[in-house]
Structure 1
Amino acid sequence: MQCGFSDSLICRPSSVEWIQGRKRVDNGARYSEDMHVIAGRFKGVALEAAKAGTRPTTDRTKEAIFSRLDAWGVLRDARILDLYAGTGALGIEAMSRGGQELVSVESAAPMTAAIAKTLTSLKRHSAWSNDMRAVAVRGKAERYVERYSGSAFDVVFIDPPYAVSTEDCEELLGNMVGAHMLDPDALIVLERSARSEQPVPPEGWQISERRVYGETAVYYIESLPSQQGDE
């Protein structure tokens, strides 16, 4: 199954009420003025906050991640995949900082609808250009990878619930490599609990850097030098 891009994002309108200073839609998702794009062409655009039970990336961790990505210059014109997207904050931040195309994959219907709504706002922004593409896909990350047959990605964010085992993360990484989803020079950013075991990258790939921010460990995974530039 080819997973492409679409300019039309289906998002059913919901009734809105105010609860303790936050807007709440009837599907259980919440809005918060504290969640927004940090920097770039879409700086300040509001994001929908996580519903109860989700674990969004903290601003401290997000700023640290993007400080590195900006320094490495990997986001310009990049094709970005955001798995277990949650609020979509990582992928949308990457688009703001130079990304060209984005696929956000999230299994929860309310959050997928929230991402779609944010992407619709971006497409109405003056900084949006006609050659940019972004889509929210409802589905499990594992299934998306298993069925993928499109073009390779340059930057991949993987932020699974901490309940997802290290072995499952390793299997997902291996399936991505096996499905040729990754450009030879691609960068994978994997978030895990700092108390989880360190994942073993697929053959031909390495953890080039590991950083810990509170309870979160961030792994930067790249292909080995001998693999980079190969077809």
Structure 2
Amino acid sequence: MDETERTPSTAERVEDRHAQDRVLDSGALRALAHPLRVRIYDILSQYGPQTASSLAERLGESSGSTSYHLRALAKHDLIREVSGRGSARERWWERPVGGVSFANGEAVKTPAGRAATQIVMNEFFQLRQEQLLRFMDRSLGEEKGPWQEASMISTATARLTPEQSAELTRSIMALIDEAVDKYRNQTGDEVRPVTIRADVFPLPDLEDQS
């Protein structure tokens, strides 16, 4: 087969797509390393554009506080003002489209960089855990019907080599990327933001847990 006609492999598609992901530098990590800013960033990522007032209502903060933190995030291009929307008194903010990585090998070489990365990662995964627990509580109560049946909470264990784990990771990422690209801007009566979480990591040896 001619090389120009070769279909890219799953690994190549995933690598090409995520080659452009932004790796946050030390300045951006330090700007984000505040629990409220992580929450603001997460809301903009999951629910789309917001104002200082709408964020304040969601977070139980003053609009002055959320406005201050929005400006701090915007200073490092973590978020941006929505072009052509709002006014001088009611500005709308959004998170730019594209992948972001908190794992910066250079940043974690310094104590300040490691501390900032730890704060951001801890807060981010705490938010994800809170969302999971809230969904589980709702699924026992009011979250019935199609959404309960359309959701998945599952864990499994396999014995893999690093290469096999990498292959599995790329396959999962390819499925996620396809769904994100296809439905990113979908609207409709039954459309809701859906968080997609995938964890693949090696377990410690039993001896390490004793």
TM-score after normalising by structure 2: 0.23
Higher RCO, Cα 8 Å, sep 6+: 2
Q: Please identify the structure whose Cα radius of gyration is greater.
A: 2
**TM-score, length of structure 1 as denominator length:** 0.22
Relative to its length, the structure with more helix (as a share) is 2
